[in-house]
Structure formats: C-alpha cells, structure tokens
Amino acid sequence: MNQLIARKLVLGANYAPLTSTSVIASGTLTAPITNAGTAYIQGDLGDDIPLQPGEWHVLVHVDLSRIKAKGTSNDLITFVGGTW
C-alpha cells in the first residue's frame, strides 16, 4: 500500500539526512521561498549543490536517507510525496 510522506528538515551548519532510516519515495524536494539563505544538498561526490529559496525538484524513487542537506540555521528543506 502506498503512503504519503511529508518531511521537514531544519537546516544547520552540518549535513543531516532527510530521514534517519531508508525510505524509498517519489515527490518534490523544496527550499521554501521564506528561507533566509541558500540551502545545500550533498552531491554524490560530496560537492555542495546549492538550492536557492523557492527552488524545487521532482525526485523519483530515491532513498530519502541518502539526501543530506545543510544551510542557514533554521532554514528548511521540505519533501512531499509518497511511496508510489
């Protein structure tokens, strides 16, 4: 059975995963327009990949525990989707 997944990660100076355990999902990863600064996700080679406030990306069948983000303290990254 498919499940809705809605997650919010409060950012800080160090990378943190979107989920602590493996969750395979499809949905939209967003840096809300209200963020004060640029958020960063960690690329597969360890690079900082910038996400500007208001930027979003559709992800398909990804492990949310492998998405790690950092940024301005108290800014957010959100994910809304599901296990479909």
Q: What is the mean pLDDT of the chain?
A: 97
d(CA 18, CA 63): 9
CA distance 54 to 67: 18
Provide the β-strand partners of residue 51. 39
pLDDT digits (tens, 9 = 90+) for 14-46: 999 999 999 999 999 999 999 999 999 999 999
Spatial neighbors of 60 by CB under 8 A, at least 6 apart, are 26
Structural domains in the chain? 4-82 (2.60.120)
Confidence of residue 4 (pLDDT cuts 50, 70, 90): very high
Q: Which pTM does this prediction carry?
A: 0.92
Position 54 scores a pLDDT of 98
**72: pLDDT confidence band, cut at 50, 70 and 90?**
very high
